[in-house]
Amino acid sequence: MALVMIFISGVVFALGLGVSGMTQPEKVTSFLNIAGNWDPSLALVMLGATVTYLIGHILILRRPAPALAKTFTLPSRRDIDRPLVIGSALFGVGWGLVGFCPGPALVALVTGYESVIIFVLAMGVGMYAFEVLDLRFAKEPDGGAGLIVKS
Amino acid sequence: MTEFTPVSALVGGFLLGAAALSLLFFNGRVAGISGIFGGFLGFKRGDTLWRSVFIAGLLVGGAMLTAFYPDALQFEMKHSASTVMLAGLLVGIGSRMGSGCTSGHGICGIGRVSPRSLVAVATFMATGIAAAVAVDLIFGGRI
């Protein structure tokens, strides 16, 4: 049952990306390219998503535990460190170059486009390379976000 | 050049928030795609199944878009294969080093008002804008 809900969350997430226009890389670069013919759509995507999440997560975290799991697994760190800033900066450059971030790129795999496949393969290599170099697999399950178990 | 689409942007944004909330409500997890996919690539025992199920959901969602809303996946990548490869590498390394991407930091992190996520989003927005503007102004939109 828990897996069914994870699957449905993934499906709805992909539909959200598609409906919002995020699966069209040009839509993303038209938002980021403020010097061109600016398309502010992505700002409204973020607004709709964050306000929904902000309200919903407050209500959900009042519960002692998730409906189908024993505990909440949430990032707990609040410190601003160098990897956070440098990593985000590198991520932004890649994102702005072609207009793809991980979610939309994975969803767009269904097009079978060569460039999407190249992007996802390179992304996977990048993620894997970082993990291997950083040896984080051994330490933290979610990329060093710092996990706390809320009980 | 794309058109401003406020209604579909808000509706799509709401769906993204709802999907992330459902993962939190039922499974207690943060919907960070780079974290889920990166962790999947780690193939840690007992931690891979739920990640692959979520990724399968993304792909099935993509197939549904192709069937019912094909415009969503109607696009052209004008960039050279080497640019796409470089961008993919940067997105992969950067999202793991920075502990998240547009979903984990952008949706869930901002939604939780996490200081780390606010810094991450401000940073990748700034460098994303710089990259997109540079591609347009210096390279004429195609590199």
Q: What are the tens digits of pLDDT across the range B27-59?
A: 999 999 999 999 898 877 788 999 999 999 999
Does the pLDDT at position B21 exceed 50? yes
Q: How confident is the model at residue A146 (pLDDT cuts 50, 70, 90)?
A: very low
Q: Mutation test of the interface with chain B: which of A15, A73, A137, A147, choosing the one with the most B Cβ atoms within 10 A?
A: A15
CB A77 within 8 A of CB A145: yes
Residue of A1 and A40 predicted with greater confidence: A40
Flag whether B28 is in a domain: no
The beta strand positions in A43-137, using DSSP E, are: 72-75
Q: Tell me the pLDDT band of A147, cut-offs 50, 70 and 90.
A: very low
Share of chain A above pLDDT 70, in %: 89
Please give the residue of chain A at the shortest CA–CA distance from B129.
A32
Q: Quick one: pLDDT at residue A78?
A: 86
When pLDDT is averaged across residues B92-120 and rounded to a whole number, the result is 95
Tell whether B8 is covered by a domain.
no
CA distance A64 to B18: 20
Report yes or no: A74 at the B interface, CB cutoff 8 Å: yes
Distance CA(B95)–CA(B34), nearest Å, equals 6
Q: Does A148 touch chain B (CB under 8 A)?
A: no
Number of domains in chain B: 1
Structural domain that includes position A116: 2-150
Instruction: Look at chain A and report how many structural domains it folds into.
Output: 1
The tens digit of pLDDT for each residue in A4-15 reads: 999 999 999 999
Q: Considering only residues B25 and A143, tell me which one the structure prediction assigns the higher pLDDT.
A: B25
All residues of chain B having their beta carbon less than 8 Å from the beta carbon of residue A30 are: 1-2
pLDDT at B140: 83
pLDDT at B78 over 90: no
Mean pLDDT of chain A: 90
Exposure of A72 by Cβ count < 10 A (0-12 exposed, 13-18 middle, 19+ buried)?
A: buried
Q: How many other CB atoms are there within 10 angstroms of residue B132's CB atom?
A: 27
Tokens 């050049």 -> residue: B1
Task: Inspect the interface and report whether the beta carbons of B17 and A51 lie closer than 8 Å.
Answer: yes
Q: What is the mean pLDDT of residues B111-131?
A: 96
H or E element at residue A150: strand A147-150
Q: How many helices (H) and strands (E) does chain B have?
A: 6, 0
- Token representation of residue B84: 């796409």
Show the beta-strand stretches assigned E in B11-89.
none
Candidates B105, B3, B93; CA nearest to A145 is B105
Residue B8 vs residue B1, higher pLDDT: B8
Position B66 in a domain: no
Quote the pLDDT of residue B44: 78
pLDDT for residue A149 is more than 50: no
B57 occurs within a structural domain: no
Domain for residue B25, yes or no? no
Q: Which residues pair with B29 in a beta bridge?
A: A73
Domain residues for the domain of B106 are 77-143
Strands A147-150 and A72-75, by their bridges, are antiparallel
Closest residue to A145, CB basis, from B23, B99, B115: B99
pLDDT band for position B129 (cuts 50, 70, 90): very high
- How would residue A148 be classed by pLDDT, with cut points 50, 70 and 90? very low
Residues 37-56 of B with CB under 8 A from A: 37-39, 41-42, 44, 47, 49-50, 53-56
Neighbours of A34 (CB within 10 A): 12
Check A53 against B21: CB less than 8 A apart: yes
In a domain? residue B116: yes
- Where b means 16+ CB within 10 Å and e means fewer, A3-30 reads bebbbbbbbbbbbbbbbbbbbbbbbbbb
User: B88 lies in a domain?
Assistant: yes
Decide if B111 is inside a domain: yes
Average pLDDT rounded to a whole number, residues A16-43:
96
pLDDT value of position B17: 98
pLDDT for position A139: 52
